Structure 1
Amino acid sequence: MPELHAPTVRGRRLARELRQHREHAGLTPDQVVTRLGWSRSKISRIESGRTRPSVADVTAVLDLFGVTSPVRDALVQLARDVQKRGWWTTYADLWDGSYVGLEDEASRIRSYQVQFVPGLLQTPDYARAVISAGRPDRPAEVDRRVRARMARKSVLARSDAPTLTVVLDEGLLRRPLGGRDVMREQLYALVAASQGGSVTIRVLPTETDTLLGAEGPFVLLSFEESDPDVAYSEGMSGCVYMESQEQVSRCRVTFERLFETALSPEKSVALIETYAKE
């Protein structure tokens, strides 16, 4: 059976393109199954992005659909790119779902956080404090998770780094995770990150009279080439990906209101510095 996996942006794009070309050719999934001798589940997995189709499989369906170059060449190359292993596969046993792959390919990341500083902005010691809280008896695993989280941060150092816009609840600035020294270092790291150009940080004051964000923290990922946005939320019940237009739209509107309600970037940085000095 082909390997099942959580689709990346390229995988989602390839699945969507193949499905659209099948429909344009006027073929049903059952007709594809009959002509190629595939199982019904195989074509379903390919078109839903739940499996990585081989280049040979992609070539076969493109021939059947009558897709010619240059579109054909572009889709075959996309199929090759889907097969590439990302840096995060080194930590495949740690990641839950496809979030890191989606994050790596995003052009814009918007994050609302209530309890912790976002992973992309965490210092090693702060990350260790956060991770250790849930795994106090597994120090070896904690070390590996910290290394993995630091590897994630490389996305912000690339020449094509995504823009990162963060709204932080003021309460998390007061929570000295790992101790006062660790938290002080983390707060100054936030100040430094905000001066990098691609990172914007706003703080939502504690006294804000609003229920915005009451449903909890979330991340909104946007991509190039008109790929649809994905919203992501992580909690005790697990990881939730929200891809429907209604869900994503609600998250987008909520974030925009949180962003507008929060302090300006300048006032936010000044507040963070105040807490760091205290």
Structure 2
Amino acid sequence: MTFDPQQLGRPKQELAAVLKELRVRAGLTGDRLARRCNMSQSKISRIENGRAQASLLDLDRILRAVAAPPEVTEEVIALARLANTEWQDLRSLRRRGLEKKQTELAALEFSTTEFRFFLLSMITGLLSTPEYIRASLAHAPSDVSRTIARKLERQEVLYDATKRFTFILTEQAVRWPLLPPAAMAVQIDHLASLSHLANVKLGVIPTAGHKPIAPMDTFTVYDNSLVTVENTTGVVILRDPRDIDMHLELFSALEEYAVFDEEVRALLAEWSAACRA
């Protein structure tokens, strides 16, 4: 299914309205539908009013209970995927203030136990030195001092032993010369130091060798409940279980290509030395 980013955000209410209309057309009260679906009447009401998001299992039960035809079922599933997808464009984020996005990320990190980061072309803020963070924000149109401060504050989450982090970086992400060579050496050394944290698993995918998978984007999986996918113009937020499962599968495949522990630290030391040379 393809979609226009401008559609994202509206389908939640559209989905709720369609489900309510299907129930009415089937001649069912909310209570009768709830009994057929083995749900509470209050849950049916929240779904139909857009106050609760129906899971795929919920949708399957409801569509069967109202005897929805195949073409309607297809439309509802498409709406459900859009309802579970959010688009945040970079221009809007900048208008709101980039530091507000950092506050949202901090809240998400607070509520997450397991993190999986795939970093295609840059180093994420959680692993960055202050110089790298400042350079990554060099083209922002306004003062970024508060954003830099919030990014650095967020790094404290790495030292929470109740949380687990897996970072997979490509060699390009590590070695892209965003900073002058001496400062890049410090950044690479910082990655090596963080790889010693007991709750942090840091791996790098070297460019050498045959790798038949070609990932297109940077992405992060938060527990098994949410994925963010980043590109040049913004961030897509995915909550559909199918999209989450697809990214978990991709992450596992990419993890097989990465090197860890002493092997990754040896690579990082080599690249750091090359910068200093």
Scaled by the length of structure 2, what TM-score is found? 0.63
- Structure 2 vs 1, CA of residues 107 and 229 (structure 1 numbering), >3 Å: closer, same or farther? same
Matched residues in 2 for 1:121 and 1:106: separation?
Answer: 17
1:203, 1:263 within 8 Å by CA — same for their partners in 2? Answer: yes
Matched residues in 2 for 1:238 and 1:26: separation?
Answer: 39
* Mapping of residues 128-207 of structure 1, within 5 Å: 128-132=134-138, 134-135=139-140, 137-138=141-142, 140=143, 142-160=144-162, 162-207=163-208
How many aligned positions are there?
198
Q: Residue 259 of structure 2 aligns with which residue?
A: 263
Unpaired runs of 5+ in structure 1? 1-19, 33-39, 50-90, 223-227
Matched residues in 2 for 1:28 and 1:166: separation?
Answer: 38
1:96, 1:239 within 8 Å by CA — same for their partners in 2? Answer: no
1:213, 1:254 within 8 Å by CA — same for their partners in 2? Answer: no
- Structure 2 vs 1, CA of residues 144 and 274 (structure 1 numbering), >3 Å: closer, same or farther? same
Residue 248 (structure 1) aligned with residue 254 (structure 2): no
Task: Name the SS of the counterpart of 2:220 in structure 1.
Answer: strand
- Matched to 1:149, the amino acid is K
1:110, 1:220 within 8 Å by CA — same for their partners in 2? Answer: yes
Q: Deviation at 1:98?
A: 4.5
- Matched to 2:264, the amino acid is S
Matched residues in 2 for 1:186 and 1:208: separation?
Answer: 25
Q: Deviation at 1:264?
A: 3.2
Q: Deviation at 1:103?
A: 2.1
- Matched to 2:202, the amino acid is I
Percent of aligned positions with the same letter in both sequences? 21
Scaled by the length of structure 1, what TM-score is found? 0.63
Task: Name the SS of the counterpart of 1:261 in structure 2.
Answer: coil
Among candidates 263, 270, 275, match of residue 274 of structure 1:
270
Q: Deviation at 1:97?
A: 9.3
Q: Deviation at 1:237?
A: 3.4
Matched residues in 2 for 1:260 and 1:118: separation?
Answer: 21
- Matched to 1:178, the amino acid is L
1:213, 1:258 within 8 Å by CA — same for their partners in 2? Answer: no
